[in-house]
Amino acid sequence: MADVHDKATRSKNMQAIGTRDTAIEKRLAALLTRTGFSFTVQDAALPGRPDFVVADYQCVIFTHGCFWHHHHCYLFKIPATRTEFWLAKIAKNVARDGRDLGRLTELGWRVLVVWECALRGRKKLSDEALGERLEEWICGGGDCAQIDTQGIGPLAITSQPDRKSLCSGEGADIFQASPAPPQK
């Protein structure tokens, strides 16, 4: 299937995608503020430039787009055009994520990944549920974790996926979680 836009239009559209102050980051910032946490945004001194740093609790929070960071959910679809390019691009993102998260944990930071699907879409968590999960993790002092449509679960940093795992959509991304505990 061919791209519906010409090269110039596609380029313009891709340039408009911001890396900062995205809708999901704004929603998460509002929830953190509402729950009373002080934080800084996009700290360039830390590996991976975390979206939020809650220094009082020695934790960092990333908001990851399900497509860009290869989350196994209904929002991740492999593009029908330029498939090889996108698979290579996403694999590089996943490898970089693994390196950055590994370095952060080595430096003593706890890491939380909040997936886009938890913040938007038909299966998103309510503000109340998401706020409770954030507060639970930040104050609880637990290990690295992730929040998706199922709630909060452990985050294990593993190796980079290969092309086959990206194409199959099977659990081979760097973010492996055991089943989330039941919601309260």
What predicted TM-score, i.e. pTM, was given to this entire model?
0.77
Q: Which of 51, 100, 148, 173 is catalytic?
A: 51
| 73 closest CA partner among 147, 182, 163 | 147
CA distance 146 to 112: 5
**Percent of the residues in the chain that have a pLDDT greater than 70, as a whole number:** 75
Q: What mean pLDDT is predicted for residues 25-43? A: 92
Instruction: Dump pLDDT digits (tens) for 167-180.
Output: 444 433 444 443 33
Among 16-30, 36-50, 81-95, 102-116, which is the least confidently predicted range?
A: 16-30
| 101 closest CA partner among 172, 176, 178, 180 | 176
User: Would the pLDDT of 113 be above 90?
Assistant: yes
pLDDT at position 57: 95
Task: Give residue 14's pLDDT band: very low, low, confident or very high (50, 70, 90).
Answer: low
Judge contact between 72 and 171, C-beta under 8 A: yes
97 is catalytic: yes
Domain boundaries, the chain: 20-176
pLDDT at position 8: 78
pLDDT at position 20: 59
Q: Which of 64, 70, 97, 148 is catalytic?
A: 97
Architecture of domain 20-176: 3-Layer(aba) Sandwich (3.40)
Q: Which of 69, 70, 71, 72 is catalytic?
A: 69
3 is catalytic: no
pLDDT at position 28: 92
